[in-house]
Amino acid sequence: MDERERALAAMGVDALNASLAGLGYPLIVSSSDVRMAEPVVGDIPNAVVERPGVAPLRIVFGRDLNIWVGPYSEVVTVPVSEETRGLMEEVITKVLMSEIVCSYRRRSVELVLRLPDHEPWMRLRVRGSDLQRLLEPRYQPYARV
């Protein structure tokens, strides 16, 4: 990673910490549910959210902030810049507050994210010929406010 990429990654980590703090949760450094993880793509830093009953999330801090749900990458993507700092925090907060439903079909899986008692704000269909049932059918939100 060059200096610019490190600065962009730091902005992404700051957005996650701001989101956690805004929801009343500890920052990454002292959280038992959110931790920095080994890179899965080159040397790009990332954090994982792991709590029973909550969808496994991975937040990748590159030129774009990418949020994965289980093995499905780039479910939500936000470009990283000074101008998008607030948007990154908003999107992370929305994902952490969302229920996630996984519906498996013959050749696809559909991921639905919705805030409790609201209409879905995201639907994503991933197509493939050999999709394994790696996720539970329903996950509760990480954060409840």
Residue 107 lies in a domain: yes
* CA distances in angstroms from 86 to 12, 31, 37, 123, listed in the order given: 11, 22, 24, 23
Are residues 66 and 25 part of one domain?
Answer: yes
Q: Which pLDDT does position 90 carry in this prediction?
A: 97
Are residues 109 and 92 part of one domain?
Answer: no
pTM for the model: 0.92
Are residues 111 and 55 part of one domain?
Answer: no
- By residue range, what is the domain housing residue 131? 100-139
Are residues 92 and 132 part of one domain?
Answer: no
Q: How far does the chain reach from its first CA to its final CA, in angstroms?
A: 37
Are residues 80 and 22 part of one domain?
Answer: yes
Q: Which pLDDT does position 17 carry in this prediction?
A: 98
| Site of tokens 């790009």 | 44
Looking at the 3D structure of the chain, how many domains does it have? 2
Are residues 118 and 57 part of one domain?
Answer: no
Are residues 90 and 114 part of one domain?
Answer: no
pLDDT along the chain (145 residues), means of 10: 91 97 96 91 90 96 94 91 96 97 88 96 84 85 87
List of residues 6+ apart from 41 with CB closer than 8 A:
60, 62
| Site of tokens 């507050």 | 97
